[in-house]
């Protein structure tokens, strides 16, 4: 490629926040018609770099050139005016407006009376969606759409702005495999039309499937950039975390003791059907299943957050009341799949989140012992290596991996006998995954019984002492560590006889 094909140059970009050097002299380059993956651990600086490019933050140092011309952006509208369009993971659409109204928000076509020309807007939206291969009526209200359809609307909005650069941040996180394949088809279409694509993902398989170039950041620094076809997954992961991929699943043996959790004939209308299993002290029991299999419903029922029929015994004694309060009192903790909505209070500090489940033990006459609370938080921040400038830092400002550590720390502080981890490494980088896997092994050695729910097959195979597979609300298979294979697990998960 020649220099004339270079669309974007970011040189020497640096950015510092209070207590954090987010970016340190970072370079990034994007060419026309290229899908350039930007990868790194959570906290590596990816989001900060993209926010600088999108006009959210000004850089402290460095320059940005677009098609050879130096540019500066004081506001996101400046970036949009230059043809830079992010498709956010959170999908910032107005749910009560129609598809067409969202696509042309604040840019609606007007008729000769200076009123919104709805007919023209709907026609143009329909043409735009058709060109992207998206079958969504322009008059449909966005609140009625699936997550995948909303994402397609976000892409259509970006394209409608004559985008030269489209930024995808973890775009497949909420999508099924089929929906992800449709997204990739649109990305390839945009690429063919000369649009430059910046693609951010923790999923290495996707990076190698869709990208032409990979740039790696680590701890706010530029590590390197390589053509995807010349790279290996192990090479990229080693650049990201500074160590070998073989360290990701280092299962350490722990003595497995007596049964601690017994689930007997659990039933929940429409979700669970005659579920029975035993979890032993020091055991990591993996629970696998495809979407809709009932894994999270089972976790919530065991924890008392959902009604059920059947019996649950902890330490040989029945759970008399179906409430999370009793589950916590009896020594159970649940780290749910959605850490932002269900596991953490984003506006509270690291200290306050860690102490949330332990407040009864920290209170005297209803007053929190703030010194004891701080000591508890400091202990678990150190133990789990939570990267935070202070225990007073609001959780919303931490990386995904560090938020997950805080969510786990909250329950470890209660000294649980049983810990249920629902998708413990979902949406976090490979380095944070390795740290959480190491923590799980350490907890098992201490005698904690762990029920690990995961849709990541390598994680299930690598970390479990025993594996249960669910299909349509039932246990469809059970495998010991030595006998389990991907084929056996997938056959059970899809309802085939094993």
Q: Are residues 237 and 312 in the same domain?
A: no
Q: What is the pLDDT of residue 400?
A: 77
Question: Which DSSP helix (H) or strand (E) runs through 392?
Answer: none
Q: What is the pLDDT of residues 248-297, one digit of tens each?
A: 667 888 999 999 999 999 999 888 999 999 999 999 999 998 777 889 89
- Residues 304-326 have pLDDT tens digits of 988 889 999 999 999 876 788 88
pLDDT tens, residue by residue, 356-411 = 989 888 988 889 999 999 999 999 999 888 889 999 999 988 877 788 889 999 99
Q: Would you state the pLDDT for residue 498?
A: 46
Mean residue pLDDT across the chain: 88
> Do 138 and 203 belong together in one domain?
yes
- Eight-state DSSP code of residue 347: T
Residues 195 and 328 in one domain: no
d(CA 279, CA 260): 6
183-204 pLDDT, tens digit per residue, is 898 899 999 999 999 999 877 8
Query: How many percent of the chain have pLDDT more than 70?
Result: 95
Per-residue confidence (pLDDT) for residue 472, from 0 to 100: 87
Residue 43 lies in a domain: yes
Residues 390 and 313 in one domain: yes
Whether 66 has a pLDDT exceeding 60, the answer reads yes
Question: Tens digits of per-residue pLDDT, 160-171?
Answer: 888 899 999 888
SS3 assignment for 231-285: CCHHHHHHHHHCCCHHHCCCCCCCCCCCEEEEEEEEEECCCEEEEEEEEECCCEE
Question: Is there a contact between 125 and 107 (Cβ–Cβ < 8 Å)?
Answer: no
Q: What is the pLDDT of residue 2?
A: 47
**DSSP codes, 458-478:** HHHHHH-SEEEEEETTEEEEE
pLDDT at 42: 67
State mean pLDDT over 103-120.
90
> Residue 286 sits in which domain range?
259-493
Q: Are residues 209 and 356 in the same domain?
A: no
CATH number at residue 314: 3.40.50.300
Do 128 and 265 lie in a common domain?
no
The pLDDT of residue 140 is above 70: yes
- Average pLDDT rounded to a whole number, residues 340-347: 84
pLDDT higher at 246 or 306: 306
Higher pLDDT, 494 or 321: 494
Q: Does one domain contain both 202 and 329?
A: no
Average pLDDT over residues 25-46: 91
Give the pLDDT of residue 261.
95
CA distance 308 to 271: 10
Residue 497 has pLDDT above 60, yes or no: no
Q: Say if residue 212 is in the same domain as residue 267.
A: no
Residues 122 and 159 in one domain: yes
User: What is the pLDDT, as a whole number, of residue 4?
Assistant: 47
pLDDT at 90 over 70: no
With a cut of 60, say whether residue 490 has pLDDT above it.
yes
* Whether residue 442 sits in one domain with residue 369: yes
For residue 498, tell me if it sits in a domain.
no
Residues 233 and 293 in one domain: no
- Encoding tokens for residue 142? 């966005």
Last residue of a domain, one of 193, 218, 245: 245
User: Could you tell me if 85 and 161 are in contact, meaning their C-beta atoms sit under 8 angstroms apart?
Assistant: yes
Residues 6 or more apart whose CB falls under 8 angstroms from that of 29 comprise 6, 8, 9, 10, 36, 225
């Amino acid at each position: 490629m020649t220099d004339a094909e270079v669309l974007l140059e970011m040189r020497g970009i640096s950015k510092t926040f209070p207590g954090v050097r987010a970016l340190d002299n970072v370079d990034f380059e994007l060419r026309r018609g290229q899908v350039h993956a930007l990868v790194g651990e959570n906290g590596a600086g990816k989001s900060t770099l993209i926010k600088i490019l999108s006009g959210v933050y000004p850089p402290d140092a460095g320059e940005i050139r677009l098609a050879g011309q130096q540019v500066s952006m004081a506001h996101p509208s400046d970036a949009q005016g230059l043809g830079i369009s992010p498709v956010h993971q959170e999908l910032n659409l107005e749910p009560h407006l129609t598809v067409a109204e969202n696509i042309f928000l604040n840019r609606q076509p007007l008729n000769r009376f200076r009123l919104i020309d709805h007919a023209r807007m709907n026609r143009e939206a329909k043409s735009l969606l058709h060109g992207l291969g998206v079958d969504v009526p322009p008059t449909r209200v966005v609140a009625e759409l699936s997550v995948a359809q909303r994402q397609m609307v976000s892409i259509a909005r970006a394209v409608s702005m004559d985008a030269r650069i489209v930024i995808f941040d973890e775009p497949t996180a909420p999508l099924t495999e089929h929906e992800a394949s449709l997204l990739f088809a649109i990305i390839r279409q945009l690429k063919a039309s000369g649009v430059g694509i910046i693609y951010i993902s923790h999923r290495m398989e996707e990076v190698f499937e869709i990208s032409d170039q990979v740039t790696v950041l680590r701890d706010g620094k530029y590590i390197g950039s390589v053509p995807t076809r010349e790279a290996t997954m192990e090479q990229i992961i080693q650049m990201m975390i500074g160590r070998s991929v073989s360290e990701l699943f280092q299962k350490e043996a722990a003595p497995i003791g007596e049964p601690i959790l017994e689930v007997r004939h659990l039933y929940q209308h429409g979700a669970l059907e005659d579920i029975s299993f035993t979890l032993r002290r020091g055991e990591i029991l993996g629970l696998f299943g495809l979407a809709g299999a009932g894994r999270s419903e089972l976790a919530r029922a065991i924890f008392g957050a959902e009604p059920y029929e059947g019996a649950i015994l902890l330490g040989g004694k029945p759970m008399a009341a179906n409430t999370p309060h009793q589950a916590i009192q009896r020594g159970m903790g649940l780290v749910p799949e959605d850490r932002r909505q269900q596991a953490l209070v984003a506006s509270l500090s690291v200290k306050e989140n860690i102490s949330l489940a332990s407040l009864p033990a920290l209170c005297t006459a209803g007053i929190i012992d703030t010194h004891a609370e701080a000591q508890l938080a400091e202990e678990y921040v150190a133990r789990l290596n939570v990267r935070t400038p202070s225990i007073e830092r609001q959780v919303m400002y931490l990386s995904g991996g560090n938020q997950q550590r805080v969510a786990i720390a909250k329950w470890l502080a209660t000294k649980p006998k049983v810990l249920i981890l629902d998708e413990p490494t979902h949406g976090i980088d490979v380095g944070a995954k390795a740290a959480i896997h190491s923590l799980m092994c350490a907890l098992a050695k201490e005698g904690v019984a762990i029920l690990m729910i995961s849709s990541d097959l390598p994680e299930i195979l690598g970390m479990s002492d025993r594996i249960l597979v669910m299909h349509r609300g039932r246990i469809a298979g059970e495998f010991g560590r030595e006998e389990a294979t991907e084929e056996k697990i997938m056959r059970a998960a899809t309802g085939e006889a094993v």
